[in-house]
Structure 1
């Protein structure tokens, strides 16, 4: 497979998916008002999206390797385009929950394919390319706040950002299809490697990958718990304006972007297992700052520190796992996404449920608690990585 077209599709796709993921949290106050969603329903939305992510991780991890990856990516981006346009046509929240599951399934499968392809195509510089790939995801999350602010100056409707995103996604789907057709013509008549279904059972029995699952659980809980609820927490719980809340969230996504760009450079000075612990510690300090320093500059600094800690942690941990067993890349990516999605589900729904009985400023304590889980799991994973090295 030619590396350039696949790399363009994956990097651009991760940018768009990153923007989509953060849009749910940014647009939530307007979506909830327009569709009549309570805090519990809002929490259920994120939980069901995570359920879809888990299903997509299982399906993608087990069966994606049976197909040609580029045509499959083209189809998946096309599916997401249709689903997003359907979301923008809704007038009640019930169907929104169904579509959230389907979007989660499709997006998770794209993640699984992306991680697997990049890890295989760039085995000689895996940490760097995995970091750049997830950097594109973070760049999408970083751009989302400004993207919404810009489009809201045209018309303050939550539907427009999703419609514009869907239009860009269908362009990427067409490019992936054209690239796949060109590649198929070049490889016509050449022998192909046999396709096979992968198994999760052999992987989950290994302690190092169990710690990986718990690490990604804590990671998903903190990252998307903050992404999904921070704007509502800052706006409704602390009294910041909508634009201030979105800009404060941009401090978090900016930290994620910087971290994913710089962590391969830090590996020149720190071993993988030490860097994992350092990043988890920074994340823990940042997430506690969001609760204990509820001022404009305090929350901005906390979000930045949280992003700096979290950003490189996921690609660093997954790349280390791929180095141990690269043949089972789709399964390892699937396990990571399942752990991540479970964390999102637990943090998002529990925050919404707690907010139904107490102020959101109190319910936001879910995130520091999840930060503690992340730190413990990261420390255990780092010990296992050190042993394998």
Structure 2
């Protein structure tokens, strides 16, 4: 590791936690929704209880200690300070792997899988499956710096990640990502193919292929229906963040209840649960994610990535055959994730798919929802390209 990596430790002043509880207590609540479900957004009973728990029972110091147990650094890349967790494996032949989340995810969603991925022997696995983990925080998210000018979209972030891996001394590495992380991971594979042994985007960026519409499988028909439903009912947040992130940012930075509702809605909609989110994401885990936006006040800066890159990624989604990826690719398709492409749709963009698996359970946050499955999927694909 070079001297350009500066050790970092999270240390939130107690006064900030006291102020958070004050703001939660002073929330000005709207009247209840007029329907008995989530069709108008987060029900008031749910959010009031979640915010009560946040103010009275949630303990940030537990999560802060878990994060501080991991080796953290700050480094400047392309003029911007980047926060990164770097966990070398005790097994020297481990494969370096960069993991990238998106919105409204956070570094905390990987806490369950760091141990099994870096030291599989300790968890009953094989040393041959070990990874050196690199978990950078996106610009404008968490404890990375907030960009002060435009230009920090997914392509530039991918270039920064390639520079980060080189700075850490890794000349041969893999990449995995979800949400914005799948776009960044795809771009890393395009920009740094001489060093990337394989990518694992979840889900792969692949639009439905009109040429297949006369021979759709049942899974493809379900995927098209889910995509239409997402566009009709679940895209309001992205339209706002892609067009007017500064406007929504005032609420997200000023009101913890607004931020909590904005994020909780997506966890409810995007995870694979049977009407009880806590069966796959506990209240503490959900609030961990919220806190990593609240404490560094990144509601506006994180939303701004949509303004930077939403149209670019939409174009990638549409232009599958002209913007291809040639590095080896592994695809784990979780049933509650959207879009959920078929292999033949994905193969138009990812020309060297080495691994494809359609899972029975899981959604948009697989490392958090289904950590054992997530670990197995990463191991299964990267065994083919190590």
Which structure shows the higher helix fraction? 1
**Higher strand content, 1 or 2:** 2
Q: Shorter-chain TM-score: which interval?
A: under 0.3
- Report the TM-score when normalising by structure 1: 0.23
Greater RCO, CA 8 A, separation 6+: 1
